[in-house]
Structure 1
Amino acid sequence: MTTTPQRPLWAGRTLALLGIFLVALNLRTAVAALSPIVDEISAELSLTPTVIGVLGMLPPVCFAVFGILSPAFTRRFGLERVLIAAILAMVVGHLARGFAPNAAVLLIGSAVTFAGLGVGNVLLPPLVKKYFPDRVGIVTSIYVTLLSFSTFIPALVAVPVADSAGWQVSLGMWAIFAFAALIPWVALVIRHRSAAADPLIEHAEPALMGRVWHSSIAWALAVVFAVSALNAYAMFAWLPSLLADTAGTTPTQAGALLSLFAAMGLPAGLLIPWLAARMRNVGILVYAGVVFFIVGYLGLLFIPATATWLWVAFAGAGPLLFPLALVLINLRTRTHAGSVALSGFVQGIGYTIGAAGPLVVGILHETSGGWTVPLLFLMATAVAGAFAGVVVARPHLLEDAHERRNSSR
């Protein structure tokens, strides 16, 4: 792994830093702002259970689809321009949701918004590598933490805003924040367009994008990301019901415990990228995430009513694999072209698998009539992450395998 001399964080790259942080603050707003007020929206737009279910499935599906497609977009237009288009999609989608007169417009607006979010998910890691190769750990830590804020702040303010100004304002107001994220990137593109040479476009070559499918480090990171996504989505969907059935919690208590599960992502977002950038064996962090999942699930399986908060906290610490996978996308690539290819692959595969989590857990719960089989299933998926950790621990880069193949010919 190559090292890059450090320079001041803001030196000559203020717009890029501000742009990365503002985009991170927007990457979950559309997801978190809807569910707290879905009943109010449903009462006015007559949403059927099927429509509500589709709205719940759209985020991971769009994240997966556009995670896979994003490298192709950047190959044609470049990182910054594709990100600008993604932010514009967020703005348009938020406004469409806010002004939605019926369920169809709400669905279309949500799909457009989530498409923009999916592209943004993929592009932030390579943008960090491009502009901050000397500060990958700290910049990733900050933007993942901001991403966590974009998850729970909309959920906190959605109901009060809807009560005072209407659900339309509660959904549409996030367009303002998305527009704010647009400004530094437009300014950056204009600045470089005025220069003699345009250094903005460095894309993932088609050959590299094809070979990523045959890379052991790419598949290992995809498994790590998928384990985090599958377990997180499953817990967000089913933890309140699980706790009500097994621990006898009230809806208020279950909501508080779900918030605890989500809040465990804040310290992980701050610490894990920083640690990963300094540790020689990052496999230890993968194994730690796996252990946290398993300990939490064992507690919920055998003694759910005793120290329930502790088992939820352990399970909530398991998704430390999410910020770990994001920072390793950069630590396991040499160029930001490689980072684009790896980011699209890892997040595309990871979100595809993760989207199945709530559905599989629901089917297992319904067919088994309890929570033992679903929890055993989630533990099994966590164990898969440990095997991937063995590969992730090796300090090799995505481009190395390609170079070795060329040199052997």
Structure 2
Amino acid sequence: MTNFVVKKPWTGRIGALLGIMVLALSLRTAVSVVPPLLGELRGELGFDASTIGLLAMLPPLVFAIFGLLTPALVRRFGLEKVLVAAVVLAVAGQLLRAGSGAVWPFLGLSAVVMAGYGIGNVVLPPLVKKYFPDRVGVVTAGYVTLLAVGTALSPQLAVPVAGLTNWRVSIGLWSMVSLVVLLPWAMQAWRDRRDRLVLAGADDAGLSPSAGGDGTVSAVPKLLPWRSPVAWGLAIFLAGNSAQTYVYFTWLPPYLSGHGLDAATAGSALAYFAILGLPVSLLVPLWIPRMKNPIFAILLFAACWATGHLGLYLSPSDGTWLWVTFSGLGQGTFATALLMVNLRSRTTHGSAVLSGFSQGVGYAFAGVAPLFFGTIRDATGSWTASFAMLGVCLVVMLAGAVMINPKRYIEDSAVVAVAPGGARAGGAAS
């Protein structure tokens, strides 16, 4: 089935737009605020090498678990209800984490925070698909850009805010950004409820929409993403990309500090790496949809990744900012992965399933990368094998890119559940 998209006015979707954008701004702040503060956390909470490694593994591993669980939650409760519950979970976890007095409660509450944001990761693309099917590229460019802004701001401000107050305020402050997410979605829920009341007469007349007013998709057949080459390709692509990114977020500051940079400069390098996602976040969603073969853009970003890895390995203290620039621009692959969720799905339901599966599998692989990076360094006594591992991640990412390059959709290839009457549901959900 071919999509038929009609241009819609922005009126009536402003609440959803604000909700998507503020959610994107808040999704990574709780992750990236911690690494620059690890020096203080070591002394006060008792972090050591093993618990730091566990902390680094938490975001991608929890993202993976809730990436796989979220499509079922969305199917049962609807996008908006699941999103609100996730935000409440994340805010509560952040506030309680800021008050922790020991390392294990801090880690446990960090897992709660990541659970909320893991759900948020998955629902963003289908929210764009649902509310803005006619403006997927523009809205995706906006939210991926704000994702990069949030990722860059929190490590840059972490040390200065902690210096003026303490690390608890520096970490807990970002929960306020997440709390703001509830306001536009409450406004949108009120508008949706009003629209449902207006359309109640149409339901009585015999109309049967495929999605409920609360965002549920009960009439849509269940897709089995593990049967889809598109889903596996995007999962592999995201795994290779995220493995590299999480290694940088975990190891870039300590790696640079070990080569002569002070802690503040190393933290600034991480913030600079993150903020370089801004230009590519704006470019990718407006450029790649026009390409017949997105893999050519992916190859350009992969070359940036490779140059950055090689430069930081060979000359970490000379040309540091140049190498971080190349690696930062390589983050165009992440923006590409988020965009491809909607470019390789036909429906909101397909987008949710593809988003959950690709992020679940992808983050599971990425979760062990920072641990391996450090473990290999300790086992060999040098960084050579660790950086070689980044090269392997790059190859994995490119293998996934080959799989998602052809223009095909998850609804076309995923096997769906058998309907109650015994007939198999169609390949593409309407």
TM over 0.5: yes
Offset from partner CA, 1:264-308 (integer Å, 9 cap, x none): 211111111111222222121222222222233333455556544
Post-superposition shift, 1:153?
1.4
Moved more, 199-208 or 313-322: 199-208
Distance 1:67 1:402, change over 3 A: closer
Aligned partner of 1:267 in structure 2 is: 279
Offset from partner CA, 1:232-265 (integer Å, 9 cap, x none): 11122233455566x7655555444433322321
CA contact (8 A) 2:155 2:270 kept: no
Aligned partner of 2:175 in structure 1 is: 175
Distance 1:367 1:7, change over 3 A: same
Structure 1 gaps of 5+ residues are none
Aligned partner of 1:201 in structure 2 is: 215
Moved more, 353-362 or 343-352: 353-362
Distance 1:343 1:96, change over 3 A: same
Aligned partner of 1:86 in structure 2 is: 86
Q: Determine which of 296, 300, 309 is the counterpart of 1:297.
A: 309
Q: Determine which of 228, 231, 237 is the counterpart of 1:224.
A: 237
Partners of 1:352 and 1:199 in 2: CA distance: 33
Partners of 1:305 and 1:107 in 2: CA distance: 32
Q: Does 1:95 align with 2:95?
A: yes
Partners of 1:332 and 1:356 in 2: CA distance: 27
Moved more, 361-370 or 393-402: 361-370
Write the letter of the residue equivalent to 2:245.
A
Write the letter of the residue equivalent to 1:327.
L
CA contact (8 A) 2:236 2:362 kept: yes
Partners of 1:201 and 1:214 in 2: CA distance: 26
Secondary structure of 1:262's match? helix
Partners of 2:187 and 2:152 in 1: CA distance: 30
Partners of 2:117 and 2:80 in 1: CA distance: 15
Distance 1:146 1:341, change over 3 A: same
Aligned partner of 1:392 in structure 2 is: 404
Distance 1:372 1:158, change over 3 A: closer
Write the letter of the residue equivalent to 2:363.
Y
**TM-score (ref. length: structure 2):** 0.86
Q: Which has the higher helix share?
A: 1
Structure 2 gaps of 5+ residues are 201-211, 417-423
Aligned partner of 1:239 in structure 2 is: 252
Offset from partner CA, 1:134-165 (integer Å, 9 cap, x none): 11111111111111111121222223333333
Secondary structure of 1:25's match? helix
Partners of 1:241 and 1:115 in 2: CA distance: 26
Moved more, 37-46 or 162-171: 37-46
Partners of 1:388 and 1:49 in 2: CA distance: 33
CA contact (8 A) 2:277 2:331 kept: yes
Aligned Cα RMSD in Å?
2.7
Write the letter of the residue equivalent to 2:217.
H
Post-superposition shift, 1:37?
2.7
Distance 1:165 1:297, change over 3 A: closer
Aligned partner of 2:140 in structure 1 is: 140
**Amino-acid identity (%):** 41
CA contact (8 A) 2:58 2:367 kept: no
CA contact (8 A) 2:235 2:362 kept: yes
Moved more, 61-70 or 178-187: 178-187
Partners of 1:348 and 1:217 in 2: CA distance: 15
Q: How many residues of Structure 1 are paired with residues of Structure 2 in the alignment?
A: 405
Q: Determine which of 197, 209, 212 is the counterpart of 2:225.
A: 212
Write the letter of the residue equivalent to 1:6.
K
Post-superposition shift, 1:84?
0.4
Q: Does 1:27 align with 2:39?
A: no
**TM-score (ref. length: structure 1):** 0.90
CA contact (8 A) 2:36 2:253 kept: no
Pairing of 1:229-378 with structure 2 (within 5 A) = 229-243=242-256, 251=263, 253-302=265-314, 307-378=319-390
Write the letter of the residue equivalent to 2:240.
V
Offset from partner CA, 1:190-237 (integer Å, 9 cap, x none): 33334235423333889644x211111111111111111001111222
Post-superposition shift, 1:58?
1.6
